[in-house]
Structure 1
Amino acid sequence: MEDNNAPDIVKWLFKEDTTVDLSDDLSMHYQGEYVACQARLKGNLLALKAVEAAVEPILIVCEGLRVEKDEDIAEVFVVKYGDSHQLRLMAADEATRDKWMLKVAVASYQIVRGELDEISQLYLNNSSKPDSTSPRSNTSLYFLTSPFIKDVEFHIKSTASAPMRKITCSEEMYESKLTMIAPLEYTKLAKKWSVELCDLLKSKSWRSNNAIVLEAATNAVRHLNSHIEIYAQAIEFLEKYDGPSFRPSKEKYSLALGPVPTNLHVQFFKIVDKDVTTTCHFVTIGATSAIPLRFPNGGLHRQKLALYSSMDATRLDHSNGVRFATRRRTLLESKKTIGSLTRKIDVDWQVGKFGHVDKIGLEILAEVRQLHGTIVDMISSFPNINNLFNTVYTHEGSDDHQYSLSSQLDALEMSMISLNSKMAVIDTIEDNKEGREHFHQSARVALNSTLDILLQLVEGLLHSQVLGFATSLRIANDCQTYFQIQLREDLILSQTLTVVATGLLATLDQLPPKEIAKWDVLSPLVTYFSFLSCHANEKGMMEDIFDVWSSFPTQVRFKFIPASSTVSQVCIPTIAGVRGDIIVSLPLLPALLEKLGPRLAAGEPFRVRTIFWNLGINHEATLAQSMGSIALEEEINVTAYNETKKYVDELKEKLADVSPIHEIEDQLEELRVAVDENPSRKNVAIFTRVMTLMATLRATCTLGCKSGKDRTSMAVTLEEARFVKEHCGVCSDQLVQVTESLRKNGVRLENCRKNIGKSLYSFSPFQTHFIPKEFRPPAGTYGHNVKS
């Protein structure tokens, strides 16, 4: 046995779902006293783990040892091994002692060899296999399609004297039905936003006499018209599209497919051990990046930094798309509220009886006060609003003093004071119908007057907002950069939204209800681990992904709703909202809805925590390390660790009683050590420890590279092999055999064929020299000059 394999075997033996031959609570003699411990025996492996004492776990291979009774204490037996080693163990009673002595004595592999040889052939020939032709359940096929399933057999040689061990696994690869549907819905929404903004900029209500501002508005309209045309072409293409539900990597430069994620697949990996089935799943993708727009000025992250450095705080505030949409929505809702209040005052509000609470009047007054507070807060948060507001009304030919913002705010405050006084007086008037009606009418006039002032303020703020937006983009280069960023972000957000929605549905389908119920308390976690390099275009892709995956939790909310029909065949999401506050509604079949906790089952929106990691592993990563800069990758991974730690801290606070906290803390500490040691430079330990921690957290794992087929295939097969090691207890040498078998005989070569027409990974002998050994393809599975 390898020394570095012993801790993994101990962990495996003490996992709850590991079936063992014998398990008991014993006491182990240590430093002159007996300490409580857990004992587990499986095959010829005996593992001991102290319950409370600070003692390292012990793993004994039961070969060449002797088991004897203790002469002094009836419940104690002694395990002797090697030349002078012995271990004294105490059972609860003599019967338990005898049971353990017998089991340990016959646990030797040599003793059971005859029995194993007798049944091995029968077992290997008749062991159950996953059905390679039958698809998954109806719930999976509701959002997945085009299954490709392969059974993979591993013949593992343990020792020269033991027969070969056979492990049968199943790999299943599916396309996502959301691949074309979700981008179509999002692109329609993005086009709507662009049309609305274009119409606002064309409107004459806000227009300034300043030639520079008018030219800025004209430039903005020109860029928006270009965006609208791009969206319209994408919508037309996607509406007519009738091909497979994935975008092949050779189409990654297609602008019509720009909103669609490249090579999106969901992959399931299943191990069948007699009657026990263990499953894991992954989402695999190409880079969620605006590749069709290329990278002459870098990716989204770099372009935003360049724009921010060239604009002052006021211009940044006025041009901020999220803030613009949020403010406009608030103002339009206020305008709508004013209309409904006016109707309620004229129709529903009547003079009440003396001594009775005027509920409608109090409701109206409360809403007016709330509306007043909203408008005042809006004005205070709006930079340079005085000048913008006054410019709008000066342009309209109004008296500058009478319609200035300060004058209207003074009038509003006076009107609010008058209104509060008159509403208070009504309830003090004695039971005199004529007198009460007079004051009621006076209060009605005050209410209408206040609402008129509020309406005029709202209209002025709406026009001022558009003027501020146009003014902020008065420099042509900034205007061009701004709209390039907006188009790029729309394409990336469409892809990311589709990937996250697919991952959520796959995880919802796979996890048990008790795990899904945690989503009511703690946001689900989706991790994206990429293998791009900090060189040339791939650096731009990293910048695209880093920016959107970092801001995604604040921009997008999801909610689950019942499917329109219990026999629905396709999950068709609906996407609504404004920039910065998008809501994606995912319809679910009853079987999936039943898994949800009460909060999510009621349709309450929730956010998804997204974390992005990256590790360059190819020759271009080596080039970036030696001749370029890897600061971006280091920033990405340090940020990812900090976000992961925040998530774990939140989990400890909210779900400590139902989560394996100690195991999570240990794995997080191991990850911290790896990141601190080196957050870049092909530190493969980061990938291994991230994936181990994500599996424990029951997170959705997404793996990707530029095209999602070569480096991604190496990563997903490496992770599947780790899954086999964890659940079947294979050693490191055997792990290499498992990994190579999956890369040669699994579904990933089919993924290559679907993308480029050849069942080959796109690597050259030169490239493989620079790739870490864990990520190298087996001989005969890769080729040079294979277009990817």
Structure 2
Amino acid sequence: MSLQYPALCDFLHASVHDRENSPMMRLLSDFSFLTCAALCAQVCKLYRFQTEDQRWLLVREQMSETPLSFSLPKHLLSKLIQEHTDRIQEVKELGDLSPHWDGLRHDVISHCHHLIGCYQETLAELDKLSASLCFKASGSKSDRHLQFVPTNLHSQRMEVTDPDSVWYDVITFGAPADHHQAFKHGGLSRLLSKHTNPSSVFYSQDESSRARELLASVAQLQPLVFGLSEELLSVSLDVNKCDAAFSHQTQQFVHALKDELVRSALLAIHDEYTATCDSSHAHSNGLICENAAANQEGLPSSGQQDSEYDEEEWDRVWANVAKGLNCIIAMVDRLDRPQEVTSPEPPDTNSQNIAVPSAPPASSSSSSCWQEQLLPLVLTLRDCVREAVNKARAAMTFVVLQGALSTTANQGPPHVVQRRHAVFSQALSAVVFGFMLKLHEGLKDQQFLLQLHTVGILVQLEGLLSTYGDELGMLEDMEQSVTDLRGAAFTITEAKTQQPEDLLPTIRGTWFVVEVPLPPETFGLLPRELKDGCLIQVDAVLFNIGINQQQSLAERFGDVSLQDRLNHQSSERLKAYCSSLMDRLPNIDGVQSLPDLLSSLDSSLEARRRKNVEVLWIAATVCRQVNGVRLTSCKSAKDRTAMSVTLEQCLLLQQRHKLSQQSFSSALDSMRRNGCRLDNVQKNVGSRKFAFSSVQLLTFPRLYRPPDGSFG
């Protein structure tokens, strides 16, 4: 190496690409098969920088594509197609419904059919692409069939040998946004506020699943109870045996219906009916509630609906079933113990007090006599069962339909939902990529593994978008993707084989559990909680500071309120995550410095300085202190992102490895003039120059300006 200046770069005969027999691939042989399964098309550069104490740092910069760019979106599309197909089937299985509810079902089915058609077309186009494709160039941002694929997704890794080897990772990708639909009407957060039709009642997927199970139980148990009641009346021998089966099935029926979900759904039906009618609101199928409510299957009559709802009504219904059964059991138990009694009183469906009959007189001991005595009790019990079934079926139908609506038609028009899914797919692909690398690095760190199943993983997205023009819409898309990421989780599984395709993550469910496979020998080293499938929750935050000339316009003449709101909200979430970490794992490395860092972040946010990039630096430092996943985005992750990641690398060298102050500027220029990010620019646009003009750079913060000769 030449020693002409302190910050030196060894290009190893220019860039070194990922080829089987290349010298750099032999140099990279320390990477395990797990990492290689997630990395492809690697480009590496070597540097040598001088420290304050006159030592030399050996620095390796590596940029890699990933097969996750396409494999995860394709997997997500398949899951979405299956989810919407299942949803159509589940609402079809609800049977005959009233006109109003049938209209809601039609809304769900139409919405799902539209999305299924779009997603099948997109998946078919992605399947036509080369199986080895790992990269979506910035010029393809608006390609309709690549909506779900993240733009320019790469890992930017830096290995520092000082003297031990330490890795620092940043995932870079174009801001998760739907460039195909563009931003004429804003991004997702604005579109959802206009189009979303939130129901007054929301039911989770678990509640919808339980509702379907209850409907199945009711459908199975009602005919059994009715059949056994007929058998009880018809037999003349072995009455006790028949009574035992009848008692068991009826008790199962009562137990199945004794579910708080049924009672809450009945109350929700009444509340929704009242609220809807009070506002004379037209339902999505065009039926006014006054015209439809009277015919809704299983609902109380109009007289009951107009009166105050009795929250104990459902308790009375299923309690009467149980008490009716007790009356019959008492009658059968006393058939062989004749005594003077009055005629038994049948269950009163309007009262909680049901008389338990005594046995019939001795003269009535014949089969016909006790059948006459049991008949009114059995008929009354069947009436109680029928009433309970009608109410339960209405309640559970309401739950299933509301659950289907909340994830389809109530989320807005299909194009808005499709936009949301596409943006989420882009963000999720990048986060999964980052998590895989973080997990690989931390497999031998017991504190990190404990942190995963105790408090989850922090994901910190750094945005460099302006709050002006189209980029404001991109930021709104990005905001919603981060919100949706908070509903995601990871779980670690044991891989079937060590083949690369079996080491790639898969998705379980839809909103969303990502299964990350590990080879058997590695999986066996995990803590018991992670081996048992403990969910690793994702806590995502987004800090954005616009740095270009458009942000200057926004700050002087436009609106920066979205950026301010996002940064303050993310600061609060970041503090909550750190507080949970300090409370649950107070002895973990790095937590002692968190209070001071968070205080500095608050001070920086309150300063309200223009283009205050210090906010980004502090947030990134906190993320690294808590072993989080770091991601950086601008419009296409090509130019501004390059300035950010090279600056972050030099700051890490200065703060953690004593890079000398004299070497800092030359190291920064060297990485920008000759480093991996220029290779990224070339693979995107075919040029080795950053897309800045001299006039534009005058508006950039000083440390985000590339050296002369590297832009144009």
Q: Say yes or no: TM over 0.5.
A: yes
Give 1:636 shift: 0.8
Counterpart for residue 676 of structure 1: 606
Which one-letter code corresponds to 1:560 in the other structure?
Answer: I
- 1:183 is matched with 73
State whether residues 203 and 402 of structure 2, in contact with CA within 8 Å, keep that contact through their aligned partners in structure 1. Answer: no
In 2, distance between residues paired with 1:378 and 1:408? 13
> Matched residues in 2 for 1:461 and 1:455: separation?
10
Query: Match for residue 267 of structure 1?
Result: 156
User: Are residues 1:502 and 2:433 paired?
Assistant: yes
- Secondary structure of 1:770's counterpart equals coil
* 1:754 aligned onto 2:683: yes
Aligned to 1:316: 198
Match of 1:367 among 242, 245, 255: 255
Instruction: Tell me the amino acid that sits aligned with residue 742 of structure 1.
Output: M
Query: 2:651 & 2:258 partners in 1: Cα distance?
Result: 58
The offset of 1:380, in angstroms, is 2.3
Structure 2, unmatched stretches of 5+, are 11-23, 233-237, 278-287, 338-358, 360-369
Find the counterpart in structure 2 of residue 421 from structure 1: 323
Determine the structure 1 residue equivalent to 2:418. 487
Partner Cα separation in structure 1 for residue 138 and residue 211 of structure 2: 44
Name the stretch that deviates more: 684-693 or 430-439: 430-439
CA separation in 1, counterparts of 2:30 and 2:375? 72
Once the two structures are superposed, the pairs formed by residues 536-575 of structure 1 within 5 Å of their partners are: 536-553=469-486, 555-575=487-507
Per-residue deviation, residues 557-599 of structure 1 (Å, max 9, x unmatched): 3322222224454434443436xx4333332223553454322
**More strand by proportion, 1 or 2?**
1
State the distance in 2 between where 1:574 and 1:447 align: 50
Cα deviations across residues 579-623 of structure 1 (Å, max 9, x unaligned)?
A: xx4333332223553454322221133321011110100111111
Partner residue, 1:378? 265
Structure 2: distance between partners of 1:237 and 1:729 = 50
Summarize deviations over 1:511-554 as a string: whole Å, max 9, x none.
2233122111111101100100001111001111112312432x
Q: Kindly indicate whether the alpha-carbon contact (under 8 Å) linking 1:299 and 1:544 is maintained by their aligned counterparts in 2.
A: yes
Query: Is the alpha carbon distance of 1:342 and 1:603 closer, same or farther for their aligned partners in structure 2, counting shifts above 3 Å?
Result: farther
CA offset at residue 369 of structure 1? 4.8
User: What amino acid maps onto 1:537 in structure 2?
Assistant: D
Task: Give the C-alpha shift of residue 646 in structure 1.
Answer: 0.8
CA gap 1:457/1:260 in 2 versus in 1, 3 angstroms: farther
AA matched with 2:696: Q
Q: Rate the CA distance shift 1:424–1:224 in 2: closer, same or farther, 3 A.
A: closer
Judging changes above 3 Å, is the alpha-carbon distance between structure 1 residues 739 and 733 closer, same or farther for their aligned structure 2 residues?
same
Q: Which secondary structure state, in structure 1, belongs to the residue aligned with residue 455 of structure 2?
A: coil
Give the counterpart letter for 1:727 in structure 2: R
Q: Matched residues in 2 for 1:777 and 1:153: separation?
A: 20
One-letter amino acid matched to 1:420: A
Equivalent of 1:626 in 556, 567, 572: 556
Please say if 1:248 is aligned against 2:137: yes
User: Residues 258-282 of structure 1, C-alpha deviation per residue, up to 9 Å, x if partnerless?
Assistant: 11111111222101134x1111111
Q: Taking structure 1 as the reference length, what is the TM-score of the superposition? A: 0.69
1:227 aligns with 2:115: yes
* Residue matched to 1:298: 186
Task: Please say if residues 317 and 323 of structure 1, whose CA atoms lie closer than 8 Å, have aligned partners that are also in contact.
Answer: no
Give SS of 1:287's match: coil
Relative to structure 1, the CA distance from residue 429 to residue 139 in structure 2 (aligned partners, 3 Å threshold; closer, same or farther) is farther
C-alpha displacement of 1:395? 5.0
| Partners of 1:712 and 1:761 in 2: CA distance | 11
> Matched residue of 2:533: which SS?
coil
CA offset digits 1:29-74 (Å, max 9, x no partner): xxxxxxxxxxxxxxxxxxxxxxxxxxxxxxxxxxxxxxxxxxxxxx
Secondary structure of 1:651's partner? helix
Letter of the 1:720 counterpart = Q
Distance 1:401 1:599, change over 3 A: same
Aligned partner letter, 1:505: M
Q: Secondary structure at the match of 2:587?
A: helix
User: Distance between the aligned counterparts of 1:480 and 1:603, measured in 2?
Assistant: 31
Q: Distance in 1 between matches of 2:79 and 2:151?
A: 21
CA distance in 1, matches of 2:219, 2:456: 38
2:440 is aligned with what amino acid?
A: D
Give 1:252 deviation, angstroms: 0.7
Partner residue in 1 for 2:340: none
3-state secondary structure, aligned to 2:133:
coil
Q: Decide whether aligned partners of structure 1 residues 421 and 236 sit closer, same or farther in structure 2, where only a CA change above 3 A counts.
A: same
State whether residues 212 and 400 of structure 2, in contact with CA within 8 Å, keep that contact through their aligned partners in structure 1. no
The two structures, once aligned, show a CA RMSD in angstroms of 4.5
Among the aligned pairs, what percent are the same residue?
21
SS in 1 for 2:266: helix
Distance 1:603 1:515 in 2: 17
SS in 2 for 1:286: coil
Aligned partners of 1:745, 1:203: CA distance in 2, in Å? 64
Match of 1:641 in 2: 571
SS of equivalent to 1:548 = helix
User: What pairs up with 1:402-441 in 2 under 5 angstroms?
Assistant: 413-422=315-324
Aligned partner of 1:559: which letter?
T
User: Which letter maps to 1:542?
Assistant: L
Task: Say whether 1:776 aligns with 2:705.
Answer: yes
* Aligned partners of 2:88 and 2:112 also within 8 Å: yes
Alignment partners' CA distance in 2, 1:266 and 1:444: 71
Matched, 1:718 2:647: yes
The amino acid that maps onto 1:145 is C
Instruction: Give yes or no for contact 1:271–1:279 (8 Å, CA) kept in 2.
Output: yes
What is the Cα deviation at residue 297 of structure 1?
1.0
Following superposition, the deviation at residue 183 of structure 1 comes to 1.0
Question: Is 2:48 aligned against 1:153?
Answer: yes
**Residue 700 (structure 1) shift:** 0.8
CA contact (8 A) 1:177 1:571 kept: no
Secondary structure at 2:503's aligned position in 1?
Answer: coil
1:206/1:197 CA distance change after superposition, 3 Å: farther
User: Quick one: distance in 2 between partners of 1:202 and 1:362?
Assistant: 25
CA offsets per residue over residues 694-734 of structure 1, 9 Å max, x none?
A: 11111111111110121111111111111211232123332
Deviation of the 1:463 alpha carbon: 5.8
Structure 1: stretches of 5+ with no match in the other structure: 1-116, 309-314, 784-788
State the alpha-carbon separation in 1 of the partners of residues 384 and 661 from structure 2.
77
How far the C-alpha of 1:394 sits from its partner, in A, is: 4.9
Cα distance, 1:657–1:153 mapped onto 2, change above 3 Å:
closer
Letter in 1 for 2:530: L
SS in 2 for 1:559: strand
Distance 2:377 2:431 in 1: 54
Paired with 1:753 and 1:448, the residues of 2 have a C-alpha distance of 77
Q: 2:583 aligns with which of 646, 649, 653?
A: 653
Q: Does 1:457 align with 2:339?
A: no
C-alpha distance in 1, partners of 2:437/2:399? 42
Q: CA deviation at 1:233?
A: 1.6
Closer, same or farther: CA 268–227 of 1 in aligned 2, 3 Å? same
CA deviation after TM superposition for structure 1 residue 411, in Å: 8.0
**1:105-160 deviation digits (Å, cap 9, x = unpaired):** xxxxxxxxxxxx9xx9xxx9xxxx99645472112123332322222233x497xx
- Say if 1:504 and 1:700, in contact at 8 Å, map to a contact too: yes
Q: Which amino acid is the alignment partner of residue 533 of structure 2?
A: G
Is residue 385–residue 464 contact of structure 1 (8 Å, CA) maintained in 2?
A: no
For these two proteins, the number of residue pairs brought into alignment is: 628
Secondary structure at the counterpart of residue 496 of structure 2: coil
Any idea what SS the aligned residue of 1:771 has? Answer: coil
CA 1:560–1:234 in structure 2 vs 1: closer, same or farther (change >3 Å)?
Answer: same
Distance 1:422 1:268, change over 3 A: same
Change (3 A) 1:717 1:328: same
Aligned to 1:604: 534
- Tell me if 1:336 matches 2:216: yes
| Superposition map of 1:87-236 within 5 A | 132=27, 134=29, 136-154=31-49, 156=50, 166-195=56-85, 205-206=96-97, 208=99, 225-236=113-124
Contact 1:419 1:443 in 2 (8 A): no
